[in-house]
A and B are shown apart, each in its own frame.
Chain A
Amino acid sequence: MEKILRQISAIGIRTEPAPAPDEALRERSALGEDILRLLGRALAIRHVDAGSCNGCELEIHATNNPYYNLEGLGIRFVASPRHADLLLVTGPVSRNMEEALRRTYDAVPEPKLVVATGDCACTGGLFGESYASLGRISNVIPVDVAVPGCPPTPARIMQAILTAVSARRRTPASPPPDSRGTPS
């Protein structure tokens, strides 16, 4: 125990400031600003790997290392889609994962958000579309924010998550494309 405490005290706190949201990553604004303000940053994320090479998973893991400390912002990964506000989806969607991805999406309660993570999630990437791959995530479920990169860095992934839950500062040029996610 003494060694552990000595190490903790020697290393200190390494957490860096969180990156700011980046509007350029936003694909659509399905949630009203009032909802987003209510959500704040107390966000529960369910990760779904829909067919990645597992490179993006390495960087998603890294968002919880002491430097990025995503959980320190009140954002945490949860074990069930039923507990989640946001799906963080990686990979091109393999046909063998299509149903699991749809079911996971359906299991997330409204209002819900989807962040497509990595080049493959954004465009299909090197794997593209084929007999076994459906390509980008938005070919299967609606995507709110898409962050490119092979893989995107932890800071970029955090930016994408924070963008998804941040209200737009400026008024959108057109109304949100649909009203999914507004409370009944």
Chain B
Amino acid sequence: MPLFVPGLSLSPLPGAIPAWRADVDATGWRSAAQALADRGGRLGALWASDERDRGGRFAAHALLVGSEGLLYLRLAMEGTDYPDLSDLFPSASRMQRAARDLVGVNAGSDARGWLRHGAWTPGTFPLRRDVAADAAFAVGDPRYDFVPVEGEGVHEIAVGPVHAGIIEPGHFRFSVVGERVLRLEERLGYKHKGIEKRLESLPVLEAGRLASRVSGDSTVAYAWAYAMALEGAAALAVPKRALWLRALFLERERLANHLGDLGYLGNDGGLAFGLAQFSRLKEDLLRANARLFGHRYMMDCIVPGGVAVDLGEDDAPALLDEAARLEKELGILRAIYYDHAGLQDRCINCGRLPPAIASGLGVVGLAARASGIAIDARVHPGYAPYDELEPRVCAHRNGDVASRIVVRFEEALESLRLQRRISRELPRTATRIEPRVPEEGAFGVGWVEGWRGEVFVALEAGPSGAVRRCHPHDPSWQNWPALEHAVIGNIVPDFPLINKSFNLSYSGADL
């Protein structure tokens, strides 16, 4: 029996990952979070829900990650206020602001809107259950109070939301002296398109298609996390072959994104050769995906109960050949990147996120591993089939752009090793079982280590196969604030390189 917090009454949540639920009051909410923080735990996700239609008021929900697994906290509020967690977990601040914009519950001192902008007015809360799915609201005031920085020679550079490249929209406000960045403040939420509200209007067996488009570059991670949450809530046991194929899809997604990023990082560092080479390798991989699985990004290949596509008998040799070829090419390109004086000059000590700051901010995923924090949900707590595949955690200590490049190279190579093993040892079972609808009120959670970091999906079933509440959570929530720290003291022209080295999702966190 895990002992997250003395005195906390825990009930295990069924599913693929070790997770427990605790229903708490406001004091318990704080003390549980404090206990987790004291033991080096981190905040996974935080969201709110409207419970007035079933005799309550509002509820706050949090996923906390501890050494034993996942702790799901559920706080039934007396009114609309609940305790702030941002002093324990700084990333809670934006999540609490989003919960205020959507549900109208208050925590924390930062009263500025986060997702709201001008699309609706303060006092209107679109995720409340008495708001119709097709409601349209009066337009509000889109102005935003950036934190002013004053001093001799300080000036501001405003960038976005439309950026000078093929990039998602967001606003960056730099306060600079000369060329050096004193402070960066991000304003995101431009892509907010009401995903959580829409999820509530979909049948629980179909909503995974929308959940897997929260961030297109992580479609496999989201599809798996949604399926895991649903299968937990419905107590479904997925066939082994399906789990191995899910891991194959996830590793191919990781590889494709790492290849793409390595190309762009070379390019942003002045080595256009790298972009040409890596984008060629990525295209080869995407074409193989289209051939093998019918979709370049494997969208909708993971379905509740298993997978929608299978690997043929003849496909394993092709995958092994591809892995051998890619490994060789990665070796050549790695040697070029590591030897290239110009690239090293741009990347080493650029955009440093020191381990202490990374850990204080609760950074996750690839960015955490490049700053000396060896966390990876595939390894710890581990979930099937990774318990058998035994992936190696790739980490580095310096926390700079170069470290994030090194981690990508190592993870790409490790991912190839895993793909090889899957190709050779794929279990011969069914690929899918007929999914069933979870009972009303059943709750499940999915936790998947995507290429960028850990993706969570929390799902509560409604009556007769509906979604009551679904919260998909992107690792970018945790890592965007870290980017603000990583650029301090760097020159403005290095921002694109630093930003690319994190490559965070706007869509994923804007919902």
Q: Which positions in A face B, CB cutoff 8 Å?
A: 3-4, 7-8, 11, 14, 47-62, 64-67, 77, 79-81, 91-92, 94-97, 99-100, 104, 126-133, 150-151, 153
Contacts and interface: CB of A to CB of B under 8 A. Distances in A.
23 contacts: A3-B335, A7-B336, A47-B166, A48-B162, A49-B169, A51-B191, A53-B215, A57-B168, A60-B166, A62-B282, A66-B280, A67-B280, A79-B164, A79-B165, A91-B191, A95-B192, A96-B190, A126-B210, A127-B195, A127-B210, A130-B134, A132-B193, A151-B297
A179 to B, nearest CB: 28
Given A14-B280, A61-B166, A53 B137 contact: no
Interface string B166-186: 111100000000000000000
Nearest to B197: A130
Contacts of B219: 53, 55
B332 A3 contact: yes
A57 B286 contact: no
Contacts of B510: 94, 96
Contacts of B192: 94-96, 132
Which of A55, A64, A127, A132 has the most C-beta atoms of chain B within 10 angstroms of its own C-beta?
A132
Interface in B288-306: 296-297, 299
B216 interface: yes
B162 A65 contact: no
B297 A61 contact: no
Interface residues of B, number: 59
Nearest to B191: A51
A55 B193 CA distance: 15
Nearest to A69: B276
Main secondary structure of the interface of A (DSSP, over half): mixed
Contact of B119 (A47, A92, A96): A96
B336 to A, nearest CB: 5
Contacts of A153: 296
B505 interface: yes
Given A62-B286, A94-B190, A150-B299, A11 B216 contact: no
Given A49-B167, A61-B260, A91-B191, A7 B215 contact: no
Contacts, number: 162
A48 B164 CA distance: 10
Contact of A53 (B213, B260, B286, B339): B213
Interface in B306-351: 332-333, 335-336, 339
Nearest to B127: A131
A133 B279 contact: no
Contact of B118 (A48, A56, A96): A96
Contacts of A51: 190-191, 193, 507
A94 B191 contact: yes
Contacts of B209: 126
A61 B275 CA distance: 11
B120 interface: yes
Interface in B115-135: 115, 117-120, 126, 131, 133-135
Contacts of A92: 193
A62 B286 CA distance: 10
B277 A104 contact: no
Contact of B168 (A52, A100, A128): A52
A130 B193 contact: yes
A32 to B, nearest CB: 29
Contacts of B210: 126-127
Contacts of B162: 48, 81, 100, 104
Given A66-B276, A130-B198, A100 B126 contact: no
A169 B3 CA distance: 74
Contacts of A62: 279, 282-283, 286
Interface string B192-208: 11110110000000000
A14 B195 CA distance: 40
A100 B296 CA distance: 30
B168 A49 contact: yes
Contacts of A7: 273, 277, 332-333, 336
A95 B118 CA distance: 8
Nearest to B116: A96
A67 B152 CA distance: 51
A54 B505 contact: yes
A106 B216 CA distance: 29
Contacts of A48: 162, 169
Contacts of B117: 95-96
B216 A53 contact: yes
